[in-house]
Amino acid sequence: MGYETSGGFLPTNPYNLNSNGYLVSDVNFSGYYFNSYIFNVPLLPNSNTSEPFYYLTVRNYTPSEKSQVLLRFNMPQRYDFGFVRIRDLSNEPVFATSNVSLFNPTYYTALSNFNTQFIMSNRNFGYNPTQNIAGSNITATGFGDFIRQYTSLFNLYQSNVQILNSITSNVNSNMFRFINDYLLYVLPEYARGRENFTSALTFSILWRTALTPLYLKAEDDWGLGYNLGYAKEDTPYATIQRAPSFYKILDDYIYLKLNVQYDMNRMDFGGKENLKESTDSTGQINGYNGKLLLNTFGSYAQTIIQNPVYFNPPILKLDKLTFQWFDTAGTLITNTECDWNAAIQLVEDVPTVNIKGKNPVIIPR
C-alpha cells in the first residue's frame, strides 16, 4: 500500500517517502495469511491546487495479472486517535467544545486534559540565569493560543539570533581577556578557561593551618571557626562549607550597660584567667546593668539577670537613657539589623509630711 498526490509522485519528498515513493508500506507481510497489514495511513493535504482532491494509490508487492489487492477501510466518522499535526491539534480543542458528538469520548477526554495543561497565566519560558536571559511570560487560554504566541516569540528570536550570537561571542571574548589579564593570580588555573565563568569556585577554609601557635593548642575560643561551629580542621575544597554544629553564640549571653554617668551598672562579672600573669580569675566590679541569656535561633531572648538599682540620695531628674550591648569579650555590639525592645520600671521617690504627730516626719512613698 502506498500514497501519492494527484499527477504522480512527490519529487521533493516532503513527507519522507521511501525509495519507491510511498509513504507507508509493509514488506514483511505482518498480516494474516502472509498478507500485508498497515494499521494507519496518514491523510495529508494535497499540494496541487489545480486538482485539490485526495486519493490513495495502492500497489501490490509483486504486481502481475494474477495479483489481487483487497482493501478494507474503517472510517468511524468521528475524531479519534491517529496521526495528527500540531497545526490540526491547535484548533481541535476549540472545535471540540461545540462538537462533542463528533469526537470519540476517550479521545475527547484526553484532548481536554492535554489542552488544560496550556491554560496558564504569566508562566515564564526561556529563563536562563547563567546567560542572564529573563525569558518571556506567556498567558494562554489553551494549546492553540499558546502555540501561536510561542511561534511568534520563536520567529522574533530567529530574526535576531545572529545579533544575539555576535553579542554573546564578544562578551565571552572580552570576559576571557579580562580574566587572563587581571585575574591571572586571583582565580585558580582550572577556572580561567571555563565557559560558565560565573559559576561558583571551590574553596577551603584553613581553620587549623592559619591559626597562630597560641590558639593552636586552645580547646575553646580558638577563633572565628569555633564561634561558627566548625572543627579545628581545614575544610575540604567545595563551593559550600557547612559547619557541623550551629553557632556557639546561641548558647551564649550578652551584657547590657545603661547610663554610665548615673551609676546604673551595679553587676559584677568574672572572666577567664590570664595565665601569663596569674592563675586568679579576672573580672570587673560594677561593670554592667544586666546579663541577657540568648535563646535558640529564631526565638526571642527574654531572660535577663540584673539587680535593682537604688539611688541614695535620689537623682533629681532623668533626661534620657542610653543602652549599650556588649559581648562576652567586652566588645560593643553595633549590629543595627537586630531589633529589640525592653520594659523599664522607674520608681519615683516623692516625700510627704506626716502632720499627725507633734513633730513633722518626712515619709517617702
In angstroms, the CA 272 to CA 328 distance is 11
Strand positions, DSSP E, 67-130:
119-125
The region that residue 167 occupies, defined by phi over 0 for left and psi between -120 and 50 for alpha, beta otherwise, is alpha
What length is written for the chain? 365
Closest CA to 89 of 104, 109, 107, 111: 111
Which residue's C-alpha cell is 504569566?
A: 122
Q: In degrees to the nearest 10, what's the CA dihedral of 155, 86, 125, 165?
A: -30
Q: What cell numbers appear for 213 in the block?
A: 601557635
Q: What is the pLDDT of residues 145-198, one digit of tens each?
A: 999 999 998 898 888 888 888 988 898 889 888 988 888 888 888 888 787 787
**The cell 499558546 sits on which residue?**
146
Cis peptide before 52 (omega within 30 of 0): no
Could you read off the pLDDT tens digit of each residue along the chain, which spans 365 residues? 333 332 233 333 444 445 456 677 776 777 666 567 776 676 666 676 676 666 677 777 666 777 676 777 767 788 888 777 787 788 888 889 889 989 989 999 999 999 999 999 988 888 887 667 788 899 999 999 999 999 998 898 888 888 888 988 898 889 888 988 888 888 888 888 787 787 888 889 999 999 988 888 888 778 888 878 888 999 999 989 988 776 555 557 888 888 887 788 888 777 777 777 777 777 778 888 888 887 766 678 888 888 888 887 777 778 888 888 888 777 888 766 677 888 888 887 776 666 665 665 555 55
How far is Cα 113 from Cα 93, in angstroms, rounded to an integer?
10
